[in-house]
Structure formats: structure tokens, C-alpha cells
Amino acid sequence: MDALVVGAGISGIYQLYTLNQRGVDVRMIEAGTGVGGVWFWNRYPGARFDSESYTYGYFFSPELIEEWDWSEEYAGQPETERYLNHVVDRFDLRRLITFEQRVVSAEWDSEAERWTVTTSSGDVWKPRHLVTALGILSAPAFPSAPGLEDFRGEWAHTGLWPDEGIDFTGKKVAVIGTGSSGVQIVPLVAKDAEQLVVFQRSPNWCTPINNFAITPERMADIRSRIGEIWDATQLSPSGSMHRPIMESSLEMEADQRRSHFDRLYDSPGLIMALGNFRDVALDKRANDNVTAYIAERIRARVHDPELAERLIPKDHGFGQKRPPLENGYYEVFNEPHVSLVSTGEEPIVRFTETGIETVHGHYDLDAIVFATGFEAVVGSYNRIDIRGRDGLALRDHWEAGPRTYLGLTVAGFPNLFLVGGPQSVTGVIPRATDFQADWVAATVAGMQERGETVVEPTGAAEDEWIDHVNAGILGTMQETAESWAFGSNVPGRKRAYLLYAGGLPQYRERVKAATDDGYRGFKFS
């Protein structure tokens, strides 16, 4: 086997396709029983895209675009899972995938110039190249409060949702966490539950998703503009259709600025974040204007003024953390059976047989939803014992934060490729990872043509990339917020920027320039 791809999410599936297309002998292993990655595990009620469905789907096949109709501007999880299953079957990839195999270790064998990959069932694979498409949000994180094993009700993490679902009808339910997942699930739990307590550690700047159905006419129109849509994704920093407004919001009259904000708030999707004024991400005064505007909209939607204040973030501005999109989230708190516990004032002490004990009392519960996020970006790598040259552990190499070259390779870890891993672009993830997957496939196929067996970046190239990654976040509003993008949500983790803030066009340019310059920064043998 020439290459093993780990992870059948949207990035891994395309990686499998493109390696296979280039004639590389490739296989894939996946921990789940089906394909989809994030869209397989996160099957909680309300899980859906907040990027436009047709910008998140694949662009590599005109036939696929012709035959797949998206039903909503922001498709729900079941539709996306169906789509990814369709792609896998449509391109005859399923035969290359082994399911229910979780990689526990991967060790570089310098003599054989191959990886030794061991799975939870004890199977051993020996690929020349190891391509990790593990996902940046796939290692679920739980609160550190003790006692969960004592709880006799039902519980689930949004990122590990049970296939059979959970029926909340007539139950007393707690949702812990108010990030994108919590904000999506809360209104749906509130609909069925007899009582809902939302445990909030930090409020977020949530704006309406304003989702709508895609009619056959709209789908035909999208198809007719697909080239244009692709071009827009390639020019956008986040790989989305949206680009920031480059004029200064601070130089505008207040009422003109406000009408822009009105339009953005009422627009579908993440336009408030991705199509806002550029200075909102860079200048605190511009950012303050947006936060004041959204706070006003929250106050208008929540009847109890004291509760509204608790739902308005005070510790960060809009966009400093990834803003969730919501559908009726704030209105839920006007309902008599829904209450909010701010864990800053009322910390959780422990889970008990019958619910949650806080410093102020006990909440009797039938079910608990953990919408408590993920050990982001590096968590999925840390769960595997990956060892490169001379037994060097990736966990140790990344102890102070991830170290990569171009977000694609790691010094000391030959023939290891990262797709959708640390220090590469997020946003509409497949728009960054299809570029990466094409690069990996071209590199591996090129090596085979030239008879080369090993590729590895130099330590100097890795250092240079880290400097570039860190320079990109400096001076932005994001730099000063505590968020999963810095690993701040995981107790004890050293603060390090885990992503790439330079945007997709610059990322592509950098990778292309190094490649065109004779694979600058790499050693081949």
C-alpha cells in the first residue's frame, strides 16, 4: 500500500478520491461505522451548516454538481451525511474504506521507510505515506466536575450523539455549553422538554441563521453560477462566498453604518461575520460598534432585561471567537420552562445520581446534553501515539503548540501529511482541504514517478512557517480572546495559536510558491 488516509470526513473522502485518481495504491481507515466525520458524529438535533450548502459541497465533479440538489441554503446534518454517502458510492470509494478501526499508534520505521499503523482492534497497516484527515473538532471535551458515572439519566455529547437519538419529551434536561452546538440544540430541546436548564460559562455573539429552502429554480440558478461561486470561494479569506467590506466603518455616518448592520443581521448565514467591514476584525472601536448593535438586538428579543444582560458577552467582541448562528435561540429564554445558570457565578460542583449539584443547590434532571466543545485542532492528533524519527513523539514535538511546515507536514515525521490539521485555513473547511489534498496527491504521485521514497520538511522551514503563522494573528481582534483557536478551553493547555489567520488566497500562494520553487523547505530521498 502506498498511502493510508485516516478519517472519512469531507476532507479525507476527497483525499481518497484524488490519490486514487492519480493511481496511488491507497486505502482509508475510519473509526465510525459510516462516512461523514463531523457530519457522522454530530447527529444532534439542530446540527446544520452555517456556510451555504453548495459552497461546502465538492466542486471537483461537474456531474456531481448536476445531480445533487441541496434542499436548504444551510443543510441539516442528515442531508450532509446523505450527500457524503452519495459521493463515496458515486465514485466507488467505499471498497477502499475499512470502518470501525481507530488508529491508536503510528510509528515511522526508518529501515522499511514506512509507517507502522496499529488500530484499536490490533490490526497493523504498513503504508509508505500516512495522510491524517482527523478533523479539527473531533476530540470531544467534557467538564472536569466529577461524578458523571453516577448519573442515572441519559447523557450525550453533541459530538458523539447516539444514532438512536434521545427523546426529550416531558423530561427535565440540562444543556451545558453555549457555543455553536449548544445554541443549535437548545431551541429543539426546549420544544420537547418539560424543563430546560442551560448552563452557560460564557455567552456568545449569536446572530440569526435566516435559513431558507432552495427551490428547483434557485438550484438551477446556483448551477448556472457555479463557476462564479467557486471563484468567490477562492478569493475569500475563509473559502466562503463572502468577502469583507474594505471601506472603513469608522469613517461612515452612524446611520449609514447602522443600516449596513441591519442588512447584515437580517441576511442569511455568516455574513455578519464574513461580510462585515474589515476594520471590525482589526480595530476595537469598529468592533465596539458591532457589539453594541448586536447587544441591542439581543435586548429586544429577551423580555427579562437582567436575563438579557447575562446573555450578552462582556469578555470579548464580535468575531473574536467564532460566532454561532441561531434559530430562535434568544426567544427560548422567554419561555417559563427554560432557565439560565451562569456557571461563573454558580459553578457546577459535581454530577449526582439524579442531576447536577452547583454551589447554590441541586438540579434534578432526566438528561444532560454536553455541548462543551472539543479539544480542538491538536486533540485528535494527541489521542494517537504518533512517533517519527528516533521515536520522537508528536505530542512532545507539539508540547508548546503545533509545529508544521505549510500546515501539511512536520519536521522529523517523514511521509506524514496533515489535511485539515493545525496551522492551516479554517472557515469553509473543504475549500482549504481540497487544495491540500490535491497537493498531497501530486506530491506522492510525483515521488513515485521519480522513484523517491521519503519526503520531510527541514526544521528551518518549519520554524519559518511558525513565525509566519504567528505573525498573521498578531494585531487582530482574535489575538486577545480566549477561545478554542488558542486551546484556551482545555485546562492546562499552553496557549498557542492553532489555526492560520492569513486567509485562503495567501495560504494557497505560499504553498504554491514553495512547491514551484523546487519544493523549497523539503528534503526528498
Contact pattern for ligand N01 over residues 45 through 64, marking x by CB under 6 A: ----xx--------------
Contacts (CB under 6 A) with ligand N01, residues 310-349 = 322, 325, 343
What is the distance, to the nearest Å, from the Cα of residue 480 to the centroid of all Cα atoms in its chain? Answer: 20
Pick from 178, 125, 131: nearest CA to 343: 178
Q: Please identify, among the stretches 171-179, 258-266, 390-398, 512-520, the one whose residues bind ligand N01 according to the rule CB under 6 A.
A: 171-179
Enter the C-alpha cell of residue 219. 438550484
Contact flag: residue 457 with ligand N01 (CB under 6 A): no
* Euclidean distance between CA atoms 127 and 27, whole angstroms: 9
In whole angstroms, the minimum distance from the beta carbon of 125 to ligand N01 comes to 30
Q: Which is nearer to ligand N01, 24 or 499 (CB)?
A: 499
Which residue in the set 20, 53, 178, 233 belongs to the binding site for ligand N01 (CB under 6 A)? 178
Torsions phi, psi for 112 (to 5 deg)? -80, -15
Phi, psi of 284 (to 5 degrees): -60, -35
Q: Which range in 76-84, 176-184, 243-251, 273-281 contacts ligand N01 by CB under 6 A?
A: 176-184
DSSP-H helix ranges across 251-283: 254-266, 271-274
484 binds ligand N01 (CB under 6 A): yes
Q: Which is nearer to ligand N01, 13 or 130 (CB)?
A: 13
| Cα separation of the two ends of the chain | 19
CA–CA dist 131, 6 (Å, integer): 6
> Which of 195, 372, 433, 436: binder of ligand N01 (CB under 6 A)?
372
* Shortest Cβ 44–ligand N01 spacing (Å): 9
Cα–Cα nearest to 34, from 119, 97, 121: 97
Neighbours of 149 (CB within 10 A): 6
Rg (CA), the chain: 23
Of positions 181, 207, 436, 478, contacts ligand N01 by CB under 6 A: 181
Q: For the stretch 198-209, what's the b/e string if a residue is b when 16 or more beta carbons lie within 10 angstroms of its beta carbon? A: bbbbbbbbbbbb
Smallest distance from the beta carbon of 83 to ligand N01, in angstroms? 14
Question: Exactly one of 272, 369, 371, 394 binds ligand N01 (CB under 6 A); which one?
Answer: 371
**Are residues 124 and 117 in contact, defined by beta-carbon separation less than 8 angstroms?**
yes
Closest by Cα among 30, 27, 50 to 129: 27
Residue 485 Cβ vs ligand N01, minimum distance, rounded to whole Å: 8
Among 9, 143, 379, 407, binds ligand N01 (CB under 6 A): 143
Pick one of 119, 180, 291, 320: the residue that binds ligand N01 (CB under 6 A).
180
Contact between residue 176 and residue 377 where contact means Cβ atoms under 8 Å apart? no
- Chain centroid offset of residue 163 CA: 21
CB of residue 74 vs ligand N01: minimum separation in angstroms?
8
Closest contact distance (angstroms) between CB of 13 and ligand N01 is 17
Give the side-chain half-sphere CA count within 13 A for 16: 28
* Nearest residue relative to ligand N01 (C-beta): 179
Which residue in 119, 138, 202, 443 binds ligand N01 (CB under 6 A)?
202
- Positions that interact with ligand N01 (CB under 6 A): 49-50, 137, 143, 158, 176-182, 184, 199, 201-202, 322, 325, 343, 371-374, 484, 489
